[in-house]
Structure 1
Amino acid sequence: MTMLTVWGRANSSNVQAVMWAIGELGLPYERHDVGHKFGGNDKPEFLAMNPNGTVPVVRDDGGEPLWESAAILRYLAWRYGEPPFWPAELAARAHVDKWAEWAKVEVAASFAKPVFWRVVRTAPADRDPQALDKALAVLGKKLDIAEAQLSRHAYLAGDDFTLADVQFGHILYRYFDIDIARPDRPALSGYYDRLTQRPAYREHVMVSYEDLRVV
């Protein structure tokens, strides 16, 4: 089997999504800490792989560098995934991809900077409680959609664990761990509990983010 090389720090949310998928797929890899306190993402050799200077970057057996976590996840699913994680039938695959895209564009984007950055990566004196309340209200509407879906199915795209769960579930460790008000969503909570039983989730997603905290 080929070897994946991953550039990106373990406590990057986007790196965590990619590493979780790698773990679920049982793929061999080596990972290099890059970004934040490790630096390196502004060096010419890194920018030659990803001119954005962002992580993760992945190379599969020395091939073309891949960046943007959602594109990397789809690549891994296409090359290494098997049904039901990545269905063979087009309509079923598009259904999974639909929920994966929703999780990235609607949920992760509504959580990362509007909520997580305000709570963890902003000094207490600079936090804006009203802005946080508004951001939580926006996020809550997205999570209500997930709650409805998870009330009918064990996983986000249906009754099987799929790529959509990687794209959605990787933010939930931080969502349930940080100091915010969380309305009761029993289906979402039960779903998160199921994710925490997965070894790859515990290894790659349930990672301390204390190095990111601004005090």
Structure 2
Amino acid sequence: MQLYGKPTSINVRKVLWTLAELDINAELIPCGSGFAPIDTAEFRQLNPNVLVPVLQDGDFVLWESNSICRYLVRKSGHPTLLGSNLQQMAKVEQWMDWQACELNPAWRYAFMALVRQHPDFSDPAAITQSAQQWQQKLQILDAELAKTGAYICGNDFTLADIVLGLSLNRWLQTPLSDRLELPHLAAYQQRLAQRPAAQQFCFNGVA
């Protein structure tokens, strides 16, 4: 099994964290910005979107990080990472989709401006709006954690916590001037940080 991707990428680290939780060995083939180029005909055969990560399992090739993570859990037969019944599975995937479709668009402008310092993201008003929307989304997460008292879908650590944990780390690493105090998120971060795989691939100072 091979995993193509930049080891500092948030989406690649999502898969690396999942592999570690499942104790699955995969060869990491570093590629992407700063590593081997991916804008090549050979890589386009793996992923026509020219993005990482890409998983190759024998003759089977899969892209999109959340799909890769779900595939790995189903392949391993892990009893709880994807939920242990239909409704729990739906909740896990609900929060994974929320992270991709609601949370990610909220933080993109502020992150690209404040961390990456990309010249295309320099509008102060847009930065402020993005930061506000980002923290509004995190208030939703904080309120849900107040209900569960543990992980986002209840007592069990799941794939949803992997994708949300990485997003939480990104928020903590971004120099926001008006960072909210979100106590349930703070306690959640401490629970996640106790996991060896999280220490290796999530809370390691890389945004």
TM-score, normalised to structure 1, is 0.88
Aligned to 1:34: 31
What is the count of residue pairs matched by the alignment?
A: 205
CA deviations 1:64-86 (Å, max 9, x no partner) are 21101111111112222422212
1:96 matches 2:92 = yes
Shift of 1:114: 1.8
Give me the whole-angstrom Cα distance separating, in 1, the residues matched to 2:94 and 2:165: 15
Give me the whole-angstrom Cα distance separating, in 1, the residues matched to 2:29 and 2:52: 11
Q: Which runs of 4+ in 1 moved over 4 A?
A: 123-126, 207-210
Shift of 1:122: 2.0
Aligned to 2:2: 5
Determine what percentage of the aligned residue pairs are the same residue: 35
Give me the whole-angstrom Cα distance separating, in 2, the residues matched to 1:84 and 1:192: 20
Aligned to 1:151: 146
Matches within 5 A, 1:3-152: 4-60=1-57, 62-111=58-107, 113-123=108-118, 127-152=122-147
Shift of 1:23: 0.9
Give me the whole-angstrom Cα distance separating, in 2, the residues matched to 1:29 and 1:125: 36
Shift of 1:87: 2.3
Aligned to 2:197: 200
| Amino acid in the other structure paired with 2:85 | E
Counterpart contact for 1:104–1:168, Cα < 8 Å: no
Q: Please, what is the CA RMSD of the aligned residues?
A: 1.9
Counterpart contact for 1:11–1:208, Cα < 8 Å: no
Give me the whole-angstrom Cα distance separating, in 2, the residues matched to 1:125 and 1:70: 28
| Amino acid in the other structure paired with 1:137 | Q
Counterpart contact for 1:107–1:168, Cα < 8 Å: no
SS at match of 2:34: helix
5+ residue gaps, structure 2: none
SS at match of 2:55: strand
Counterpart contact for 1:82–1:88, Cα < 8 Å: no
5+ residue gaps, structure 1: 211-215
Counterpart contact for 2:165–2:202, Cα < 8 Å: no
Shift of 1:27: 0.6
Higher RCO (CA < 8 A, seq sep 6+): 1
More deviation, 180-189/121-130? 121-130
TM-score, normalised to structure 2, is 0.91
